[in-house]
Each structure stands twice: as structure tokens, then as C-alpha cells.
A and B are shown apart, each in its own frame.
Chain A
């Protein structure tokens, strides 16, 4: 039914999570006041030379290994020459004919992969800020280490493109390469898309899409472009080879540059940098520290812990969360109970306190101890949530929090009976309904007792006592 096959290839820029820039000792943190994160090297002052940041190479190799790429023993830094005010040297240091990594692949579905052509290292440019007073240049970002991951044109739909990006992001986060935050620009994507008649082997004319700042935008822009090119071809027209910018708020793209106007970057090997030599021994030592990648971990979480697919998806979204889960189970928790708590309370706490997982003071051992108290019915589920928050805020063990908050579970009928009586007296209508065999008002009565005990009452005991006290049919 489809007349055309869509062919998509992606070029993804990923900011490496280094403390300093690729060729200068300035902090690699584009936040902060304009032009405060710059070294003379980043301004391109006369006489400066690039100094290669070894950590960036290590992270780049991690990225390569995480996607199964072939790290090249020797690669070459090249200058990409063009004039622009955000490019301080008048050239960008990149890699051209000899990138540091070739090949690799990223899963886009069960048993379907997109091959990678190459990955190369390069430095970021600065940023132009347009103001009423004129255009200003901020070089904080200039020189930050990037890898550019170039896929083969293996993707056949916008959905596959989105899956590629989602999986790539997960893998790179897992491998500790980058936070891959597309909104903050630490992961950026350009897409090439063309259409060819079904059954054809010959790719159509491709269009490059830019300004895609989220996975959703990539998908939307590709869907728009798919429709646009289909309409042109269906009307017997020809697609123009060009670069188009995506305008998300309008839901359409605009032509930025035709291919005839493509600049000549006059690439040549950067004479300031000797060939980049990455020894096999170094690659192997990085590989040994790479650890388990998401796909392998998902399979293991299913077989070792018998968790549902949804839980596995959440727990493997980044390495630290999965590690936290496993440590909690290792400390004695039931896997599903630990998973439930992590997916709800732990993630909620991280958002609420605005801390990374490593700074959460409810360690896996403490969470395991809390879950043990819960399963021993030493406290109620409602109380456990309060204890959890207190454990982080006051940095203490669950039992200490529980006692400090006075949240031990109340299950003794003798202690609860006066509260039961008070609830029945306060809500006579509800009690009468329950007596008639209508169960719903029971919740209101239970809630009354719970409020009176600040959530400490054992709900099962309360229900039992309520039914006994009210009596009836």
C-alpha cells in the first residue's frame, strides 16, 4: 500500500561528560555568566595551541565500545575551516578522513539494528546571543568535547529513528559517557531523510533536517518531511537536496540552504596535533570497566529476579538505579517489594529533594531494613512512607526514624477500640449503611481512625474491629 520507502540516517552529537574542555583546561560547563568558562585557548588568542584532554578520549572510547564500534589504533584530527563569529579560530578541530571509531550498531527493535558508519571526536562552537544592542558571542561552550555518531541510512521510519535515539541515549548514559540531555543540548541530532519507490534499490534525493531538540521533535519533523516529500513525488516533482530547519511551534520545516551552496570546509590534518594513538591495552582496560550494558541487564533482571517488563524498563533506565535495586535485594529485600518502592518512593524522593541517587541518604541497606520492618508489620505502609522521608532528611536508620516519629504500628485492639467507638459515633450514617451490608462507607470510618492515629493503625485490625463493633447483616 505504501508507494515509497523512507530512508533515514542520523548524525548525533553527544557532549562528553568531562570536567574540562577537549583542548583546554577551562571547565566544560556551559552554564554560568557568558565568557566566564574560557581559557585563552578557547578564545583563539594568537599563539595558543590545543592540549588534548585524555579523559575525553577515554569517554569517547567508552561510547565506541558501548555501541560495539571498532576503535581505530590511529586517527587524525583535522581542521574544518569556515568563518563564523562563534568559531574563535576560524576552524573547528574535528576528525574527517580518519575517525577514531568505525562501525557499531544500535538496536531499534527486537532483533533489528541500525549500523553505525563512524564516530568522531570534535570540539563544540560557541553561541551567539541576539540582543537589542546587537549580536553577542558567548564562548563558554566553545571547545567542549563532543562525539559525532553517524548512522548508516538503515532507519525506515520516523518511529525507528526515535527508537534509535532513545536506545542510544540509554546506552550512553549507562556507559557514563554523557547525560544525553537533548533539551540542554548535551545530545543533538541532525537527520537525513529521502524517499524511494517501493522495490527500488536507489536512494532518493536526501534532505537534511536541523534544529531537532528532542526525540519527539525528531519524530515529528521526520513525519512532516515524509509527508512533504511524498506529496512532491506523488505530484511528479523532484525533491531538492537541501538543509531544512525544523520550526517546532509551527509544525513545519523551512529551507535553510541548498546543496549547491554547501560550503567547502577545506579539511586538512591539524598540524598542531599529532595522530591520536589509542593502544589496544588502553581500549581493553576501558572495556573491562565498561560493565554491563542495558540489554544484558534487562535480560538478567528478568531471569534473576522475575520482574515484570515494566519494572525492568524503569530499573534499567540508568546504571545507578539498577545498581541501587540490586544492592537493596542483596541486603535481603524481596525483589518485587524493592522494585515497587524504588519505582515510586525512591524516584519521587529524588525529584522532591532534587538530589542525585548517590546523595540519597536512604541507602540500599537502609531501604532493605525499612522493607523488613514493613513486612514484619512493625509499621503501616502509610507510616513507612513518612519514615522513608525522615530517614533521608535526618540521615538515620529506619527504626530510629520510626521511633522518633512515634510511628510504630498500632495493632492492639485494646488501644484501638476507643477510637473505633469514636468513629462510629462521629459517622452514624456511615455505620448504619455498613450495618445494612453496604461496604463503601467503611472507608470513611477507617479514614477517621487512621487520621486519629496519624496513619499508625493497622488497617486490617481496624476493619475487623469496625465490623465487630457495628455488627449487622
Chain B
């Protein structure tokens, strides 16, 4: 039997009013995780002691009449590439074992300060490199909607935890779609904010100029609650936006309906190569927006044609440098070698999984002397071009629409041997990372076989609030997000019925 889905806003309001205790909420969340984990494996570690201690502290504060934070008592899971003081951090890799972080990521610190109850570390593709969570060194996560399907990735554990009703909100990170695509695959709502809006301090870097901390929830309203609690400048992150760089809620977007909202459909992101059922669902969503008062028209973003190769150049180049610190010298695993180089090579060859090694090699190649300008230099210029194209588009449109993923979720193991096909699945999400703009994935229906479909909305740099408002109004007028939550609710049935088998890699 699945519990009633409760959103984060309701929990916080109930804890603040005394209708629920934080302890009861945390215990219910922990119990739900215990039920769903055998079938889903969303978590790499459940931090029950930390959660219950935090919950008790909140209940004590309330008993003492002290003010509670905006996320009081809300159980939140975090992707295990964010460090939390005193907790293990793996980034989905064997190499880091047995690393325990001595400090907390800014985003987690701010969440705890806002009263959130950190409930556990979620599964991911190793260092965020993957689109299915099958690249985790600790086994794949399954999609709560249908455990034979992948949950997407790399924040697959976070999306699955929310979809399985383990917790109402989970933190993810998004370098090329890693929050939005699993949110779409699991039928939940996910945001990648504007680059720099949320501090990256404590995020185990994959590609620094693309990495964003994002979140996954059952609705856009909860994502706004989350963003309010964690956004803002951080002296520990030199790339975090300074005050004033993120736009306040704009007057461009009406508060109560979508009249006057200008929606663009870039044909390059809505054209060939996209699954028919996905296309149809996005067209239907566009029609729904029109019905709510928006004007929808087709537009063009020519540079997105180069987005995937550009993304893989930039991401792998930065990754090759970011992952250089895992050399076996100071922390994590170490393999012995006769000489220094042999020790480092053995450590990295054994510690990193195949996809990570592949991307580190690609990135090392891209930065080689003599190739730097031809590869990394050109990618940087295409990125500038893409940024300018988006700016031009956002002069005419408030929001740009596309599917989040060109395909609906697919079965575990079905694509592992075709990395290129896998990379192309990122085509619709990577442009937002390259341009640094905010993007949201909203559930917008499902295929005939019940596989969730996600709608991606993108807005101009700093317009996260306007974007979330569109999401909230869409969800106020439609019930896709509630229907997919119902779909995902009954995962505990899989435990006694049909335990999923490990995929053959």
C-alpha cells in the first residue's frame, strides 16, 4: 500500500502549525525508504540518525516557541556527489571509498539551516557521467514507475526517491540534463537553475562551467520553496551570481494566468529524431498553454545543432582536470605500484569505471597542446554563439519549449553498449547548460505503455522565478504531475511480486 503523496510545502506548513511532528514525518519517510529500497535502490546511504536528530531538534524548537525555517521537517535526500559533514561521499565511485567529508556543501548547509531533515544519499552515475544511473559503481537504480526501466540519470536516485514517495524533495545536480532527464523519466518535476544561482561549493565537480545544483520534487511550487532556501551569493564559490545578477520575479509573466506569455518552440529541438509519442505529448502541452492564454509559435535556434559535440568537448576537458585529484595520494583508494606513476595509474585504472575513464581520456585529448585551439577553443566559441542565440530568442519569447528527452524511459541494459546513441539523448538538455540558462522539466503525459514524458521549459538567464511560475500555473491547470505520482506510487508491490533482476552490462 502506498502512502498519500504529500508535498514539501504541506509538510512544512503542518510542522509549523503542529499538525505533524517532524519526527513522525521523518519516521514515515524512513519507513517508506525501507519498503521501496529493495525494488528501487535509490539510496547509497540512509542517514537515519542524522534525520531523527534533526527532526527532534525541530520539534524541540517548536516546543520552545522558537521560529522554524521554511523547510521545517521536510525530509530531503541528496545526490551523493554533494558532501555533507560527517557523512560518507562516494560520487558513485569506488575510488573515493572510504571518504567521509569533513565539511558540508553550501546547499546542504542552507537546507539544514532552513529546517530540512537530510534523509540520505542518492545513487548516481559515477561522478555524474551517464544518463541512466547504470554507471554507478554500486548498482543501478530502477524506475519506480516501472522497475524494468531506467530512472534516467545521472540524478536517477534522487528522481526515483521522489517518485517512489520516499521523500517529497531530493537534490540533484545537472551538468547536461542530469536533473531534468531523470525527472522526466520518473514522472516528477525537476529544475536546473541559472548557472551560479545556487552555490557549487561542496559539489564534487564533473564539469565546473556546466555543473548546477538542482532539485526534484512532485511540483514546481516545492521547487520554488527549495530555491528560496538555497539560492544566493556564496563567498566560497567565485562563480556564484552576485546579488542583482539574478532577476527578480518579472512583470513579463502574469501572476494568475498565462495571458500574454510568449512561448517559442525551437524547431531544432522539436523536430526529427524525437519519439512520436513524446512529440505528441509536447504538442498537447503547448496547446494547453495556449488554452491558458499563452501565444505559442515556432522559432529557430540554429547553434543547437552543435550542442552535443560542444558539450562533450567542454565537459570531458574539464572533467579530465577535475578528476586529476583522485590520484591515491591523500584520500580514497590507493593501489600499490613500484613507482609513483605506476601507483597513480593503477589507482585510477582500478578505481574509475569505464565511462569515467573514457571521458577523462577524451578530455585529456581535447586539451593536448596543438589541439587545444581546434577543439576546446572552438567549443568555447560555439558556446558564445549559442548564448547569443538564446539571448536573441528570449527577446521574443518568455519561455522556450521542447521535450526533456527525445525518448521515453527505456529498459535497463538496453543502451549500455551504444555510447553515441546515449550521448544523443542529451541533445535537448545540454543547450541550457552550455548557455547557463534555467530549465525546468514538467511531467506532460505518458506513452501508451505508461512511460512518463517530460516537457522542458527554458527561460532567460536569471529568470528562474518566471520559469517556476509558468510551471506552477501549468500544474494548477493540469494534473499530469499528479497522475504520474499515482503511477509511481505502488512500487512496494514489486518487492513481493517480481524482484527485478540485475541488468546485464
Q: Measuring CB to CB, which residues of chain A are less than 8 angstroms from any residue of chain B?
A: 40, 43-52, 79, 81, 83, 85, 88-91, 137, 264, 266-268, 271-274
Contacts of A40 in B (CB 8 A): 102-103
Q: Which of B113-121, B285-293, B326-334, B444-452 faces chain A?
A: B326-334
Which residues of chain B from 195 to 223 have any CB-CB distance to chain A below 8 Å in the complex? 200-205, 207-209
Q: What is the CA–CA distance of A268 and B236 in the complex, to the nearest angstrom?
A: 22
CB of B200 within 8 A of CB of A266, answer: no
A89's closest neighbor in chain B, by CB?
B325
Q: What is the CA–CA distance of A140 and B172 in the complex, to the nearest angstrom?
A: 34
Known A91-B324, A273-B238; contact A47-B318, beta-carbon cutoff 8 A: no
A52's closest neighbor in chain B, by CB?
B238
Contact of A51 among B96, B200, B238 (CB under 8 A): B238
Q: What is the CA–CA distance of A272 and B368 in the complex, to the nearest angstrom?
A: 20
Which residues of chain B from 433 to 482 have any CB-CB distance to chain A below 8 Å in the complex? none
Contacts of A50 in B (CB 8 A): 238
CB of B208 within 8 A of CB of A85, answer: no
A85's closest neighbor in chain B, by CB?
B329
CB of B372 within 8 A of CB of A268, answer: yes
| B237: interface (CB < 8 Å) | yes
Which residues of chain B from 375 to 399 have any CB-CB distance to chain A below 8 Å in the complex? 376
Q: What are 21 of the A-B contact pairs (CB < 8 Å)?
A: A44-B325, A45-B331, A46-B89, A46-B91, A46-B99, A47-B203, A47-B204, A79-B321, A81-B320, A81-B321, A81-B324, A83-B324, A85-B329, A90-B325, A264-B368, A266-B321, A268-B376, A271-B208, A271-B318, A272-B238, A274-B238
CB of A85 within 8 A of CB of B238, answer: no
CB of B331 within 8 A of CB of A271, answer: no
B348 to chain A, nearest CB (A): 10
Known A91-B321, A91-B324, A272-B238; contact A266-B83, beta-carbon cutoff 8 A: no
CB of B331 within 8 A of CB of A266, answer: no
Q: What is the CA–CA distance of A52 and B330 in the complex, to the nearest angstrom?
A: 24
| B364: interface (CB < 8 Å) | yes
* Interface SS of chain A: loop
Contact of A47 among B82, B209, B238, B340 (CB under 8 A): B82
CB of A45 within 8 A of CB of B327, answer: no
Contacts of B340 in A (CB 8 A): 85
CB of B238 within 8 A of CB of A271, answer: no
Which residues of chain B from 51 to 95 have any CB-CB distance to chain A below 8 Å in the complex? 82-83, 89, 91
Q: What is the CA–CA distance of A268 and B322 in the complex, to the nearest angstrom?
A: 12
| B341: interface (CB < 8 Å) | yes
A305 to chain B, nearest CB (A): 49
CB of A90 within 8 A of CB of B103, answer: no
CB of A44 within 8 A of CB of B369, answer: no
A44's closest neighbor in chain B, by CB?
B325
7 new A-B contacts at CB < 8 Å, known A81-B324, A83-B327: A45-B331, A48-B201, A51-B235, A79-B321, A85-B329, A90-B324, A274-B239
Q: What is the CA–CA distance of A384 and B102 in the complex, to the nearest angstrom?
A: 60
Q: Measuring CB to CB, which residues of chain B are less than 8 angstroms from any residue of chain A?
A: 82-83, 89, 91, 96, 99, 101-103, 105, 200-205, 207-209, 235-239, 317-318, 320-321, 323-325, 327, 329-331, 340-341, 344, 364, 367-369, 372, 376
Contact of B367 among A85, A88, A268 (CB under 8 A): A268
Known A81-B321, A266-B372, A268-B317; contact A47-B329, beta-carbon cutoff 8 A: no
Q: What is the CA–CA distance of A48 and B331 in the complex, to the nearest angstrom?
A: 14
Q: What is the CA–CA distance of A266 and B373 in the complex, to the nearest angstrom?
A: 11
B477 to chain A, nearest CB (A): 40
Contacts of A267 in B (CB 8 A): 367, 372
A-B CB proximity, top 5 nearest: A90-B324, A271-B209, A266-B367, A271-B208, A46-B204
Contact of A49 among B96, B238, B320, B330 (CB under 8 A): B238
CB of B96 within 8 A of CB of A46, answer: yes
Q: What is the CA–CA distance of A88 and B322 in the complex, to the nearest angstrom?
A: 11
Q: What is the CA–CA distance of A268 and B373 in the complex, to the nearest angstrom?
A: 10
Contacts of A79 in B (CB 8 A): 321
Contact of A43 among B200, B202, B330, B368 (CB under 8 A): B330
A81's closest neighbor in chain B, by CB?
B321
B367's closest neighbor in chain A, by CB?
A266
Contacts of A88 in B (CB 8 A): 325, 329-330
Contacts of A274 in B (CB 8 A): 238-239
A269's closest neighbor in chain B, by CB?
B380
Contacts of B323 in A (CB 8 A): 90
Contacts of B203 in A (CB 8 A): 47
Of the listed residues A43, A44, A45, the one surrounded by the most CB atoms of chain B closer than 10 A to its CB is A45
Q: What is the CA–CA distance of A90 and B332 in the complex, to the nearest angstrom?
A: 15
CB of A47 within 8 A of CB of B327, answer: no
Contacts of A137 in B (CB 8 A): 329-330
Q: What is the CA–CA distance of A275 and B238 in the complex, to the nearest angstrom?
A: 10
Q: What is the CA–CA distance of A47 and B237 in the complex, to the nearest angstrom?
A: 11
Q: What is the CA–CA distance of A46 and B89 in the complex, to the nearest angstrom?
A: 9
Q: What is the CA–CA distance of A43 and B209 in the complex, to the nearest angstrom?
A: 22
CB of B83 within 8 A of CB of A47, answer: yes
Contacts of B237 in A (CB 8 A): 49
Contact of B341 among A46, A83, A266, A273 (CB under 8 A): A83
Of the listed residues A89, A90, A137, the one surrounded by the most CB atoms of chain B closer than 10 A to its CB is A90
CB of A264 within 8 A of CB of B369, answer: yes
Contacts of B327 in A (CB 8 A): 83, 85, 90
CB of B376 within 8 A of CB of A49, answer: no
Contacts of B329 in A (CB 8 A): 85, 88, 137
CB of B83 within 8 A of CB of A81, answer: no
Q: What is the CA–CA distance of A272 and B205 in the complex, to the nearest angstrom?
A: 10
A55 to chain B, nearest CB (A): 15
Contacts of B201 in A (CB 8 A): 47-49
Q: What is the CA–CA distance of A79 and B102 in the complex, to the nearest angstrom?
A: 25
Contacts of B205 in A (CB 8 A): 46-47, 272
